[in-house]
Chain A
């Protein structure tokens, strides 16, 4: 994996993470620091899963 591919992977995961974190913040009722931490962590897991799913579909 060269630097360019790594950059693209990081960019994609970052994009998914930002979108999912935003979605989490919209869907909860009270936004405090703990919710931000939990939401950002869950969104990171979701971002990795989303990239894996997209690759699985793209490789078909």
Chain B
């Protein structure tokens, strides 16, 4: 157990625990936001675990999650567009907090790793994670309905 693994455990336990609670309870607008946040919180945890175990190859898991998490949210946003248009979620603070958490983790890991291919990979993962979540969050709060209106 080192500091990386400890941070990852706390982040995964508290963050993903909270999102599971959010997905399982409450109205639809809260559930979809929690579903979107689950990948935004789990991905930095996987990055930290990869650093903690000293296995850069484990970064691929975080890359996959950063790519597929927002894609999954977009599917939900599309399928539930009508329900969400009637009661749209507003989760700007949560989205920005998750994006900030991801950015801090990626930047710290970049600083530790130093320049090289691994750092480039980390930056790609960070861009996918933050960009994907911002786009998915915007789609949840009415992006699809707005685009349908033209």
Interface residues of A (CB under 8 A from B): 23, 26-27, 29, 31
Contact between chains at A29 and B124 (CB < 8 Å) = no
Tell me the bound Cα distance from A31 to B118 in angstroms.
13
Q: How far is the CB of B104 from chain A (nearest CB, A)?
A: 22
Some 12 contacts from A to B, beta carbons below 8 A apart, are: A23-B124, A26-B117, A26-B120, A26-B121, A26-B124, A27-B60, A27-B63, A27-B121, A27-B124, A29-B56, A29-B57, A31-B117
Across-interface contacts of A31 in B (CB, < 8 A): 117
Secondary structure of the A contact surface, majority rule: helix
Interface size class of B (residues with CB under 8 A): under 10
Q: How far is the CB of B7 from chain A (nearest CB, A)?
A: 25
Q: Which residue of B lies closest to A27 (CB)?
A: B121
Interface residues of B (CB under 8 A from A): 56-57, 60, 63, 117, 120-121, 124
Q: Which residue of A lies closest to B125 (CB)?
A: A27
Across-interface contacts of B117 in A (CB, < 8 A): 26, 31
Across-interface contacts of A23 in B (CB, < 8 A): 124
Q: Which residue of B lies closest to A26 (CB)?
A: B120
Q: How far is the CB of B54 from chain A (nearest CB, A)?
A: 14
Tell me the bound Cα distance from A31 to B63 in angstroms.
19
Tell me the bound Cα distance from A23 to B60 in angstroms.
13
Across-interface contacts of B121 in A (CB, < 8 A): 26-27
Tell me the bound Cα distance from A29 to B35 in angstroms.
32
Q: Which residue of B lies closest to A29 (CB)?
A: B57
Tell me the bound Cα distance from A27 to B120 in angstroms.
8
Q: How far is the CB of A58 from chain B (nearest CB, A)?
A: 14
Q: How far is the CB of A16 from chain B (nearest CB, A)?
A: 16
Q: How far is the CB of A49 from chain B (nearest CB, A)?
A: 16
